[in-house]
Amino acid sequence: MNCRSCLGFKTNKQDARDNDKEELEIVHGDFNVLKPDKEKKNISVEQVRGFIKRLSLSSFLGSYKIGIIKHADQLSIGASNALLKTLEEPNEKVLIMLISDSLDRLPATIVSRSQVLRFRPVKTDEIYDYLVNEKKATRDKAKQFARVSMGRPALAAKFLEDKEFCDRYDEFVDTFITFFKSDINSRFNSIDKIFTSKKSGREGARLAKRIMEVWQGVARDWLLYGYKHVNLVQHERAVRELEGINIKFDNRAVISLIKNLKKAEGYLDANVSPKLVLESIAISF
């Protein structure tokens, strides 16, 4: 990165890390990120209007203004309507990117005014090479994180560079394994420990949703292992533990678990108590 914009981007990103701030929001004056507030389910009209106003200002470097909307499927109806005019008649040298993992959850009016780009998972071998060559990871770490990231290079890099994030992920995996080896009382005790800090509202919902995502991945491994497809397992270090669990449960039960975990995500979106959602998983298996 030798150009002026790239160098500024890199410097400010480090400043954000040093000050423990949300790095994407302050790395560059021409780069704007919009996402839901921590304690709110949706992106509000006020947030969108502020976002549009920032994009309408002149570029610091006389170049493009970039706007990224993370979790765009969480735009409220009013926010979506407020964004439509800008999408229909964008200012010159303004690019707006809406990121969502579900096109069906975006309003049709938004989709019809956008160019849809589908990002496919990157091959594990390519992520491995990227971690070794660009991030200077050891071969063991590169192999582990390339596999667990499931085709997402940025996630693989985060596992490598953010130990706290990686440890938290491993904790969720370990909780899954002990959870389904335990009786119902132990399962409820595990859930109580997850919410010891009295996480509630959107923070609790985000935590529970993250747990559901990790557990679905481990449950997939459980099923793959049951069908002897060990080479496709995402969490290699959990295979031994999964082998012990497979003695207790058959593959049909695991398929039922995966369906229940997916259904639980819908309950979280409908504002059901995160703790109750996890407890429903505990008694359904």
Q: Where are the alpha helices (DSSP H) in 89-228?
A: 108-112, 124-133, 139-148, 153-161, 163-179, 184-194, 201-226
Q: How confident is the model at residue 124 (pLDDT cuts 50, 70, 90)?
A: very high
**For residue 44, what pLDDT band results from cuts at 50, 70 and 90?**
very high
How many residues are recorded in the chain?
A: 285
Residues 204-211 have a mean pLDDT of 86
Q: Starting at the edge strand that comes first in sequence, how are the strands of the sheet with 65-69 ordered?
A: 31-34, 65-69, 94-98
For the four alpha carbons of 191, 207, 151 and 262, in that order, the dihedral sign comes to positive
Over the Cα atoms of the chain, what is R_g?
Answer: 21
Q: Which of 61, 63, 69, 141 is nearest to 98 (CA)?
A: 69
pLDDT band at 199 (very low <50, low <70, confident <90, very high): low
Percent of the chain with pLDDT over 90: 38
The identity of residue 94, as a single letter, is: V
Confidence of residue 200 (pLDDT cuts 50, 70, 90): low
- Quickly count: other Cβ atoms within 10 Å of residue 212's Cβ: 23
Question: What is the per-residue pLDDT for 20?
Answer: 44
Q: For the CA atoms of 266, 268, 273, 279, what is the dihedral angle to 10 degrees?
A: 60
Question: pLDDT at position 139, please?
Answer: 95
Q: Which residues of 60-88 are buried (b: 16+ CB within 10 A; e: fewer)?
A: eeeeebbbbbebbbbbbeebbebbeebee
Which long-range contacts does 122-128 make (Cβ < 8 Å, 24+ apart)? 122/151, 122/152, 122/153, 123/151, 124/151, 126/153, 127/151, 127/153, 127/156
Q: Does 227 score more than 90 pLDDT?
A: no
Question: Which of 197, 185, 136, 145 has its CA nearest to residue 166?
Answer: 145
Cα separation, 157 vs 134, in Å, equals 10
pLDDT, one tens digit per residue, over 65-122 is 999 999 999 999 999 999 998 998 888 889 999 999 888 889 999 999 999 999 899 9
Scored b (16 or more CB within 10 A) or e, 180-209 reads beeeeeebbebbeebbeeebeebebbebbb
Q: Judge contact between 211 and 278, C-beta under 8 A.
A: yes
- Residue that is written with structure tokens 């490598």 in the block: 160
